[in-house]
Structures are given as structure tokens and as C-alpha cells.
Amino acid sequence: MKKQEKYNSVPVKPDEITPKHIYQNRRTFLKQMGVVGLGALLASCAPGVTSTPSTSETLSDITPSGIGSELENQLTSKEAIKGYNNYYEFTTNKERVAELAQDFVTEPWSVNVDGLVENPGTYSTEDLLSNFEQEQRIYRMRCVEAWSMVIPWVGFPLHKLLEEVKPTSEAKYVMFESALVPEQMDGANSGMFPFPYTEGLRLDEAMHDLTILATGIYDEPLAPQNGAPIRLVVPWKYGFKSIKSIIKISLVVDEPPTLWNIVAPQEYGFYANVNPNVDHPRWSQATERRIGESGRIDTLFMNGYAEEVMPLYEGLDLTENF
Ligand SMILES: Nc1nc2c(c(=O)[nH]1)N[C@H]1C(S)=C(S)[C@@H](COP(=O)(O)O)O[C@H]1N2
Ligand SMILES: [Mo]
């Protein structure tokens, strides 16, 4: 408890959220990562628009679709995002993941995409960065343990990769698998969990534009503790669905086995949509602790993304399919 309070007591100062060097470095980083700022493109193409002074550079310059930009003033500090993690292959101690994962080798890296697809393939990190335009998405991240953050991810929609590999008509689900390197992962040998960590989505959930593969946070490539070099982010689902350090993506017919559902099926369903009305058997899901803030805030249905994602669940009993 004492340790958890650490981030409660760290006030997020405005200059911690978006210090100037981040704006400046972000440009360079995003350029390196192949991010195209639509704002910048438009500004340079639009007639009558003169140069934008660099001092007025804002996130909107590099958030082409503006997805999540309304959360810009709620961003969790980089320190907290990189210092308070769940990554059980390393340790169950959130504040030790960063240290234990620091030497995790993420280069070279490749992701195999296989199963029911017309064009199976192996993608290196470089392929993923250069083939798919990187953009910034600011999303709420709600852990099933009832804490949350607001994270400025860099990445690209998963559907762009899926469109390239072309799922066949039999494909109904997407299965993801994390790297498992026991020599480099202290927690992987405990025998407490059936690693490798696997996760899954229905194909239509995977195709939803909010579902991204992330390659960076703030102005940096992902740190090992955040799932370097590539991880899934599904913002309307509990954090455990957002599987880290992915090495394999398979298109399959049947609902794939997922780690937390294997471990405790009564507590963690396949869907894991954020739902303040369906409590965890051992605690309430009605409120959450936003890391870096004091007190608790109400948990939003579908983590605030109901308008976008509810069409996926028409006719589905969300209490039964939790
Ligand atoms: N491979 C793997 N992926 C994982 C986990 C894990 O233990 N192993 N933890 C999950 C949980 S419970 C959460 S809340 C998020 C945390 O992501 P973050 O540490 O980047 O905030 O990662 C998810 N992805
Ligand atoms: Mo979590």
C-alpha cells in the first residue's frame, strides 16, 4: 500500500506533462519513426497559411486524426508510465519491472503473422515502423485492478497490418503471443503462470480503428517495461488485454486461450470490456485511482469509448460476457 501511494502523492505538474524538450524531441522521434503530421501537411498546403511559429507547436500538429487529443491535459507523467508496470514475466512487483526489464533484448525482433491469412509474413520492428504511418493516440488505460493512467501512445491501427495479410473468410479471432525468454525474465520461472502470455480479440474488435499496435510513448520508443518493441493497446478493455512484446499474431477460427482467463476464468473473461456495472468478484469496478492524482474517479463505461465500440456488442449480454 505504502508503495502504491508513491504515485498518488506525485502531483503532475503542468511542465511535467508537456515540457518544451518533449515537443522538440517528439518532432525528431516521430520523424524517425515515420510519423507524418497531417496538421503540418495541411498547414503547408493550405493557401494563405503562413509558417507556424515553433513556439506554438502543439500535440495537434502530430495527432492527424485528433483521436484522444481531448485527454491531453490529463496525461500521466512519463515517470509514472515507465515506473509503475504490470509485466509478470519479470516480476509481480510493479515498481521493480523497469529495473528487471532494463536489459531485455528487443533487437533484432520480429513478429510472425500467420494462420488464416492470404499473405502470412514476418515483420521486423523496422518493417512495422516504415510500412505503417505512425501516429499519436492519447488513450485512457484502465487496469482491472482499478487504477488508471492516460498514455500518449505512438503506433498504428492494427487493421492496417491485418489488411496487408488479408484474413480469409474463415478467420474469426486474432490470437497474440508475447515473447518468453526465461534467461532474461526473472518472473518467468516461478511456475505461477502458464506463460507465454497470450491474448485474443474477436476479428471485428481487432479491426476497430481504436485498436492499435504501439511502438512508442511520449517522445520515445517503448521501454522494455512497457512492452518493447511492439505491444497491443485496446483502450476500451481492461489493461491485461493489451499484451506486451508481441512475437506472434495468428488468425484463427475459435476463441483463443488467454492467460488471465486460463488462470481465473470466473474473474477474467475473454471480453474484459471496462464496465463499472460489473464488479470483479473481489472488488468494485465502479471507481478507479488515476495514477498521479489523489482520490478516486468514476470508471467510465467502455472506459469512455462506448460511442465508438458499442456497435460491436449489439445483442451481446455484457454481464454474462464480461
Ligand atoms: N506480456 C504481458 N503483457 C501484459 C502484462 C503482462 O504481465 N505480460 N500485463 C498486462 C496488464 S495487467 C496491464 S495493466 C498492462 C500494463 O501496461 P503498462 O505497464 O505499459 O502500463 O499490460 C498488460 N500486458
Ligand atoms: Mo492490469
Nearest 5°: CA angle at 279, between 265 and 204?
60
Q: Which ligand is nearest to the CA of 141?
A: 1
Nearest CA to ligand 1 atom 5: 87
Low-confidence ranges of the chain (pLDDT < 50): 1-27, 36-64
Question: What are the backbone dihedrals phi and psi of residue 118, each rounded to the nearest 5 degrees, phi first?
Answer: -75, -35
> Is 319 a domain residue?
no
Q: Check residue 175 and give its pLDDT.
A: 99
AA letter at 270: F
Pairing of strands 212-217, 220-221: antiparallel
The answer to the question of residue 322 being in a domain is no
CA–centroid distance, 97 to ligand 2, in Å, is 13
CB 146 within 8 A of CB 289: yes
* Whether residue 177 has its Cβ less than 6 Å from ligand 1: no
| 105 domain-assigned | yes
With residue 43 as reference, give the H or E element that holds it.
Answer: helix 38-45
pLDDT score at 65: 53
pLDDT at res. 32: 59
**Nearest alpha carbon, ligand 1 atom 7:** 87
Which ligand ends up closest to the CA of 242? 1
Q: For position 222, what pLDDT does the model report?
A: 98
Residue 265 lies in a domain: yes
* Phi and psi torsions of 122, nearest 5°: -115, 125
Q: Is the CB of 243 under 6 A from ligand 1?
A: yes
As a dihedral over the C-alpha atoms of residue 166, residue 272, residue 190, residue 78, rounded to 10 degrees, the angle is: 90
Task: Give the number of domains in the chain.
Answer: 1
**Is 235 a pocket residue for ligand 1 (Cβ < 6 Å)?**
no
- Quote the domain boundaries for residue 220: 3-313
Ligand 1, atom 24, residue with closest C-alpha: 243
**What are the beta bridge partners of residue 233?**
212
Task: Return the H-helix or E-strand segment holding 140.
Answer: strand 135-142
Q: Compute the distance between CA of residue 103 and CA of residue 114 in angstroms, rounded to an integer.
A: 29
- 321 belongs to a structural domain: no
Domain of residue 91, CATH code? 3.90.420.10
Asked if residue 266 is part of any domain, the answer here is yes
Q: Is the CB–ligand 1 distance for residue 88 below 6 Å?
A: yes
